[in-house]
Homo-oligomer: A and B are copies of this chain.
């Protein structure tokens, strides 16, 4: 698939990737500043840099991210106490995907003008999410930036919210998980996502705005005839009553479940956190040494995603490029451990299932209800 030809969300994933690569190349030039000192970036088995930094014998990971434009949904609903789950999920689950158990979080709230009560609601939710994730919030900053911050005009306060999380490499791992040890024949376990997490909101909001107008968040959430036959899993979620509610559903934080299966001694060879760029793009970054994958037992896309595809005339190709399509994390494990990995995740309260396997043939094939999608 070519990510550059269409920009249905209004921005280019390829341009973003190029700027990120360039930013990383500037960053890498600063790594020698810590050579042989605390904070030294570690190298992986292949001699490249892993995302581990060393302090004495401690092996830490660090991850930064924000909630993005999902905040507009909270502004529209005037409900701010679930965004903390999104904020923590973005960084904590990037860390656990590399084998780091998230421990600490520092957050920055940029506001146009300060509203004490909105910040209070946000922090209450962040507190709840930190308890869920077993993390301590050990840093924070609130900055009042006036017209540098925009958002939904009807909101009490417009803001952007980002954080940096720190984690420790799980003691069972000789090095961060990178996919380097993944082999054809390994099994792929999927973790279900009950929400959009924090990605794909530009495309979703654009579609909802076009179909329902300025107050799309108040539009009743109704399934079309073709979406009514929900799968067993999807039907266990309470259906939202409005589109606003559907889009605000918080991110499930996977880190505790993945940490628990590592605690149990189960083997992992790579983990993909499905964020911007969709399922295949995020999973391909984990596939090294020329292996590919066939995923023929993924979770069903969320009802909201299926409905958006219908009302927005969005192709499966586009939807799988911008949205997680019901699967928030993919874990590579050994075939005879796959059932135990699924059982461990289920015991931690997550929906998990064996979703496919790694192949000698390169590329990722998704066999989903919409047909077969190939990514090379």
Q: Chain B interface: which of A10-18, A282-290, A311-319, A352-360?
A: A10-18
Q: Is the CB of A83 closer than 8 A to any CB of chain B?
A: no
Known: A39-B136, A123-B23, A142-B19. A110 touches B60 (CB 8 A): no
Known: A110-B66, A123-B23, A138-B39. A103 touches B34 (CB 8 A): yes
- Residue from B26, B143, B168 within 8 A of A39 (CB atoms): B168
**Residues of chain B within 8 A of A143, CB atoms compared:** 65-66, 68, 162
Q: Which residues, 53 to 87 on A, are CB-close (under 8 Å) to B?
A: 53, 55-58, 60, 62-66, 68-69, 71-72
Give chain B nearest CB distance to A365 CB in angstroms: 29
Known: A41-B138, A168-B39. A64 touches B26 (CB 8 A): no
Q: Is the CB of A253 closer than 8 A to any CB of chain B?
A: no
Give chain B nearest CB distance to A33 CB in angstroms: 5
Q: Do residues A26 and B164 form an inter-chain contact, with CB atoms below 8 A?
A: no
**Residues of chain B within 8 A of A136, CB atoms compared:** 27, 30-31, 33-34, 39-41, 53
- Residue from B40, B126, B158 within 8 A of A148 (CB atoms): B158
Q: How far is the CA of A363 from the CA of B149 in the complex (A)?
A: 37
Q: Do residues B24 and A140 form an inter-chain contact, with CB atoms below 8 A?
A: yes
Q: Is the CB of A37 closer than 8 A to any CB of chain B?
A: yes
Q: Which residues, 105 to 156 on A, are CB-close (under 8 Å) to B?
A: 106-110, 113-114, 116, 119-120, 123-124, 126-127, 130-131, 134-151
Q: How far is the CA of A66 from the CA of B108 in the complex (A)?
A: 8
Q: Do residues A149 and B149 form an inter-chain contact, with CB atoms below 8 A?
A: yes
Q: Do residues A53 and B138 form an inter-chain contact, with CB atoms below 8 A?
A: yes
Q: How far is the CA of A130 from the CA of B32 in the complex (A)?
A: 11
Return the CB mask of A327-371 against B: 1 if under 8 Å, else 0.
Answer: 000000000000000000000000000000000000000000000
Q: How far is the CA of A12 from the CA of B116 in the complex (A)?
A: 12
**Residues of chain B within 8 A of A71, CB atoms compared:** 148
Q: Do residues A135 and B34 form an inter-chain contact, with CB atoms below 8 A?
A: yes
- Residue from B60, B69, B116, B150 within 8 A of A15 (CB atoms): B116
Which residue of chain B has its CB nearest to the CB of A135? B33
**Residues of chain B within 8 A of A106, CB atoms compared:** 62-64, 164
Q: Is the CB of A22 closer than 8 A to any CB of chain B?
A: yes
Q: Do residues B116 and A166 form an inter-chain contact, with CB atoms below 8 A?
A: no
Q: How far is the CA of A106 from the CA of B140 in the complex (A)?
A: 14
State the 10 A-B residue pairs at the shortest beta-carbon distance, nearest first: A39-B103, A164-B164, A27-B137, A26-B123, A30-B130, A34-B136, A64-B106, A55-B58, A38-B168, A39-B104
A interface residues (Cβ-Cβ under 8 A, vs B): 10-12, 15-16, 18-20, 22-24, 26-27, 29-31, 33-34, 37-41, 51, 53, 55-58, 60, 62-66, 68-69, 71-72, 101, 103-104, 106-110, 113-114, 116, 119-120, 123-124, 126-127, 130-131, 134-151, 158, 160, 162, 164, 166, 168, 202
